[in-house]
Amino acid sequence: MSLCYNIDMRVIHLCFSLHEPLTLRKFSSDGSEGYFAGKVEFVRENAEVYQPLFALLERNTQKFKEFRFSLMVSGLWLELAEQYDAKLIERLQKLVKLGQVELVAEPYHHSLAFFYSQDELTVQVELYRERIKKLFGVEGRIFALPELIYNDQVGKWAEEFGFAGMLVGGSPAVLGWHSPNHVYEAMECRYLRLLFRNTVLSQAITVGDSDLLAEKRVSSDSEETKLALSAQKFQKRLDLELLRGDLVNLYFDASVIRAQRERGIIGFFDDLIAAWLESRGNHFVGAAQACVVETPSLALSIKDSVSWREDVEPEDSSAEAVGVMLKSEAETQPPRWLSRPWQVELSKALYSMRREILASEDEKVINDWRKLTAIDYLQDRAESENFRLVLADLKTRAESAKKAQAVEISRTYTKKHDRGDVAVRSVVDDTVVPVTFGKPKVKVDVTPTLQTQAEVEPAEEIIPVQGLHSASVEQPVVELPEKPVDSAQKTSQKPRGIRKVIRKLVIE
């Protein structure tokens, strides 16, 4: 669906985030079970969240061809879904094939790599794009960090990587009097578009705002009622909000389905989608389409990192101080809720191991390390000590892998040495000369050949000198004058006499 902006058009961009963190097991020195678990948690989330959410999305894409939406799907979620319910992947593939869902790219392991190793961020984003290209045949054109974290430096990186836009937590402290219901440009970027979450409306649904609740019958054959989210009441608030701009970005974590299940959130979304598309000029769009519904009229600069958590969580006055930082440092720091000293310490310890981990060339070690970069492990201080133990064990495994690698290289070299396959590099001309060890199997003529002027300067015919070359032709005999010499001088004088003979022969 191509969109041409007009003054009567009103647009909703609906986006759900699908991410399932792996449970970090209590560290055991034997390492028999590995560091991670996740089956129990994923199976529970699948029943309570993913199955009803996918049913909701499939039902409405079938009923309304104009219905569009976005999904942020982490690489870890894809791995768990493939392992424990592969049909979820098949269902998502069908939605993508219909062209009604857009996948928003993110770091494969749902990490904060940007703030500690941008090389690692690049690797994880490339891994993600390769994975969704293989599974779904698409490449994400819009980018988002976990929790919709953003600052100017992230925007520059995203544009250089090739993304056209980013999803951003719409913190009122950042936007000020500006409305989140517009498309903005990123300051100091050439074209990167920013889509800000409408915090007020998104949060009203997430927490089940009492102003949106209305009494509804539990079933058609019962008089019993319950309080449930009302799409009609929400649309009235939506109409007022759209007076401040024609684009409303509603972003949710998929867990909202479980949190508001008792308040009828599935029926709420069904009613909202149907009612919204009944009105002429109303549209649902994906992330890339949302970037072009209007021409940006303002470029925004965001120095300090923001996320959607800052949108709804007031600053905790009891939180640990993050210390005094230079302005340049503040621009590359994670959001405040991820910048406590113990969180920064763990993150630096984790990413400082990167070079050593990659040098091990052990895929299992590298994969386990990358799983630890997920943002989830930095949110519970009670788990920090367990996290440190896992890091220490991972370092030991990397060192063992490197030692095993060195032993294997040495063993391979020794085998080649014994076979005579070792190559020696000449220090004179930097060429590789094969060296054969042991006695030669065939007789080799090792008589030295001396370089002479005759080898450098061309001559019509050079007569070989007897005693220097083995030849079958008859050679002239040259008698040297007899002169007694000391045995010590014999070695040094003989070459001189030979050179005289050769020069004489060449001249003749």
Tell me the average pLDDT across 17-24. Answer: 93
Tokens 């490197």, residue? 402
Q: Considering the chain, what is the average pLDDT of its residues?
A: 82
Tell me the average pLDDT across 264-287. Answer: 96
pLDDT at 20: 93
pLDDT at 57: 98
224 band by pLDDT with thresholds 50, 70 and 90 = confident
Query: Cβ of 467: how many Cβ atoms within 10 Å?
Result: 10
Helix and strand numbers (H, E) in the chain are 20, 16
pLDDT at 70: 98
Tokens 């129990």, residue? 40
Q: What is the pLDDT of residues 185-197, one digit of tens each?
A: 999 899 999 999 9
pLDDT at 474: 47
Q: Which of 49-53, 90-94, 295-299, 449-453 is predicted with the least confidence, judged by mean pLDDT?
A: 449-453
Apex 225 CA angle, 219 and 230, nearest 5: 90
201 band by pLDDT with thresholds 50, 70 and 90 = very high
In this structure, the chain runs to a length of 508
Q: Tell me how far apart the alpha carbons of residues 393 and 388 are, in angstroms, rounded to a whole number.
A: 9
- What is the SS3 assignment for 46? helix
Q: Tell me how far apart the alpha carbons of residues 399 and 357 are, in angstroms, rounded to a whole number.
A: 8
Contact partners, residue 214, CB within 8 Å, separation at least 6: 227, 228, 230, 232, 233
Q: Tell me how far apart the alpha carbons of residues 10 and 456 are, in angstroms, rounded to a whole number.
A: 88
Instruction: Check if the beta carbon of residue 453 is closer than 8 Å to that of residue 459.
Output: no
pLDDT at 35: 93
pLDDT at 352: 96
Half-sphere exposure of 14 (CA within 13 A, CB side): 18
Q: What is the pLDDT of residues 26-59, one digit of tens each?
A: 998 776 778 999 999 999 999 999 999 999 999 9
173 band by pLDDT with thresholds 50, 70 and 90 = confident
pLDDT at 487: 47
- What is the SS3 assignment for 318? coil
Q: Which residue type sits at 157?
A: W
308 band by pLDDT with thresholds 50, 70 and 90 = confident
pLDDT at 145: 97
505 band by pLDDT with thresholds 50, 70 and 90 = very low
Which of 278 and 452 is assigned the larger pLDDT? Answer: 278
pLDDT at 331: 52
419 band by pLDDT with thresholds 50, 70 and 90 = low
473 band by pLDDT with thresholds 50, 70 and 90 = very low
Q: Tell me how far apart the alpha carbons of residues 411 and 440 are, in angstroms, rounded to a whole number.
A: 24
Contact partners, residue 192, CB within 8 Å, separation at least 6: 155, 158, 159, 163, 164, 165, 166, 185, 186
Q: Tell me how far apart the alpha carbons of residues 85 and 69 are, in angstroms, rounded to a whole number.
A: 23
Residue 48 is classified by DSSP as I
CA 8 to each of CA 11, 235, 242, 246, 293: distance values in angstroms, whole numbers, following the listed order: 10, 17, 11, 9, 12
Compute the radius of gyration of the chain from its Cα atoms: 37
pLDDT at 422: 55
Contact partners, residue 246, CB within 8 Å, separation at least 6: 9, 10, 11, 181, 293, 294
Domains and CATH numbers, the chain: 10-20+52-312+334-338 (3.20.110.20), 341-416 (no CATH), 453-507 (no CATH)
φ, ψ of residue 10 to 5 degrees: the values are -125, 135
Which of 183 and 491 is assigned the larger pLDDT? Answer: 183
Instruction: Check if the beta carbon of residue 339 is closer than 8 Å to that of residue 321.
Output: no
Which of 423 and 408 is assigned the larger pLDDT? Answer: 408
Q: Which of 92-106, 194-208, 242-256, 396-410 is predicted with the least confidence, judged by mean pLDDT?
A: 396-410
Q: What is the pLDDT of residues 105-116, one digit of tens each?
A: 999 999 999 999
Q: Which of 146-160, 262-276, 450-464 is predicted with the least confidence, judged by mean pLDDT?
A: 450-464
Tell me the average pLDDT across 358-382. Answer: 94
pLDDT at 164: 97
User: Secondary structure of the chain: what % helix, strand, coil (to 5)?
Assistant: 50, 15, 40
